[in-house]
Structure 1
Amino acid sequence: MGMEREIKLALPADQFDMATQLFITRTGNTGHAIRLENIYFDTPAWTLARSKSALRLRRTPDGWLQTFKTAGAAKDGLHSRHEWEMPVAGEALEIDALLRECDVPDVAAALRQAAPKLIELFRTDFTRTLWLVQQDGAEIEVAIDQGEVIAEVNGATRRAPISEVELELKHGDEAALHALARELSAHIPGLAPDDISKAQRGYRLREQ
């Protein structure tokens, strides 16, 4: 099990170029852009959402990954949550493998209960541009995500935009995350902490 610690910041769409240039200047490189296609699963009764967890298949340039994570805690854009992630053979969940790794009993129980009734609820498709930033002795992975959430509801397609900056602590003190977030907010107009995950956006889109 890993504990993910990241700060999520809502990025105004018209500030995308400014944010990109800031990281190019900071790191001396143009960043690494990848396309990520994600499918989120739950039961029709939202068993996983009610247990404050989320289940995802992600297609990356290197293959498919399945990820199971808890909602955890989010305050002022800082998200702290349990996460289990592993490669899978293709576009299909491998629930037994996740259950072997998941070591939080109540969360594992919710996944076991949901498994027979899982359906696709929504997708998130976006381009992620990545940089590694050194901040106060810490290493932080910076991602700018641009794309959309897509949900098919009663034969209609619903869409919501994704435009955000994610700062994920890889090594070092959590204080470095906050320091970098403050620095970015001072330079990018409209950048603001965001406590809503992409999964939560998908559920809200279906509720509309």
Structure 2
Amino acid sequence: MTQHPHPAAPQEVELKLALGPGALDALLAHPLLADPPQQQALANTYFDTPQGHLAVGRVAVRLRRLGPRVLQTVKTAGQGGGGLSRREEWEWPLDEHALDQAGLAELPPFQGPLAEQIAALQPTLSTDFHRRTWPLAWQGSAIELVVDEGEIVAGSARTPIGEVELELKEGSADALWRLALALAEQVALRPSDSSKAARGHALGQQQWTLPEASTPSAWLHRATVALDAFHDSGHPEHLAAARQALSELAQHPALDDAARREALTLTAELGATGQPTAAYGVAALTLARRLGQQTALR
């Protein structure tokens, strides 16, 4: 029998990193990943109204098939930046692969205007990927390192998934930054601020909206989202927007000398293809950690 979720949500704290070409092999060769991982094939269906009410409300609803099991998940967009996110998440098992509308109605995100949209929810996109998971004990914290490879499908549009997620299970969130920096020293990667659901929604609509910016953390967030948009869309204007945001960041009067050096490294290390170098990843993570980002995520 389906177990409905408890209204009190645990907070998911994770750091998302996008992998550059060839970076996966370098990552898998990293000494921290010497032990064999747990491996899973995950098939996911996301739901929204035809008008995109959940995307506008920054809420994701997902059914996940994991072997014979079916899980329903609700996530809010949360806060963060520079790859780090803090989101509320509810997850519960289902008896069948069908949306549990009654369970949704019990949750805080659906206590307001979204309550009226539950009956209109329908599948809008899917993400199918292979997941490898390593539980790590890192500098006094417990962290789950996940590598996802697959694709997002929204209508006739597709885009690949190649990312690392570092999820804090116990300990300090700063341990996520330290672990990411240790990986970035040997692996070409970059922070990503776009969830799979947000990427899929933009892909389906063929519209990639960039956040406004005025502060250093907001300019870095805008550059990060613009790079996410460029790699999913292939539209050169998003790469140009990322470069412009990094330029604004490097010139911002609020930066101290150390932060400005990191920002200038970002402008120098973002190549013509928009792919990260190891130096770009280290600088982006160092700067995001320094800025202590708290921006609204997608």
Match of 1:195 in 2: 193
Match of 1:11 in 2: 19
Aligned residues with identical type, % of pairs: 39
Match of 2:170 in 1: 171
Contact 1:41 1:118 in 2 (8 A): yes
Contact 2:48 2:123 in 1 (8 A): yes
Contact 1:84 1:98 in 2 (8 A): no
User: SS of 1:29's equivalent?
Assistant: coil
Larger relative helix fraction? 2
Match of 2:204 in 1: 206
User: SS of 1:69's equivalent?
Assistant: strand
Q: How far apart are 1:53 and its partner, in Å? A: 0.5
TM-score (norm 1): 0.91
Contact 2:46 2:60 in 1 (8 A): yes
The gaps in structure 2 that reach 5 residues or longer are 1-8, 207-298
Match of 1:95 in 2: 101
Match of 1:132 in 2: 135
Do the aligned partners of residues 48 and 137 (structure 1) sit closer, same or farther apart at CA in structure 2, a change above 3 Å counting? same
Match of 1:144 in 2: 147
User: SS of 1:142's equivalent?
Assistant: strand
Q: Aligned partners of 1:145 and 1:17: how far apart in 2?
A: 13
Structure 1 position 67 matched with structure 2 position 73: yes
Q: Aligned partners of 1:159 and 1:28: how far apart in 2?
A: 32
Larger relative strand fraction? 1
Contact 2:61 2:73 in 1 (8 A): yes
The gaps in structure 1 that reach 5 residues or longer are none
Return the structure number with greater relative CO, CA threshold 8 A, min gap 6.
Answer: 1
Q: Aligned partners of 2:132 and 2:154: how far apart in 1?
A: 24
Compare CA radii of gyration and give the structure with the larger one.
Answer: 2
Count matched residues. 198
Q: Which amino acid aligns with 1:75?
A: G
TM-score (norm 2): 0.64
4+ aligned runs moved over 3 Å, structure 1: none
User: SS of 2:202's equivalent?
Assistant: helix
Question: After alignment, is 107-116 or 80-89 more displaced?
Answer: 107-116
Contact 2:16 2:193 in 1 (8 A): yes
Q: Aligned partners of 1:137 and 1:184: how far apart in 2?
A: 17
Structure 1 position 32 matched with structure 2 position 38: yes
Q: Which amino acid aligns with 2:199?
A: R
Q: How far apart are 1:74 and its partner, in Å? A: 3.1
Give the RMSD, CA atoms, in angstroms.
Answer: 1.3
Q: How far apart are 1:73 and its partner, in Å? A: 1.5
Q: Which amino acid aligns with 1:132?
A: P
Q: Which amino acid aligns with 2:92?
A: M
Contact 1:128 1:145 in 2 (8 A): yes
Cα deviation, 1:93-138, whole Å, max 9, x if unaligned, reads: 11212333x2x3x543344221111111100001010001111110
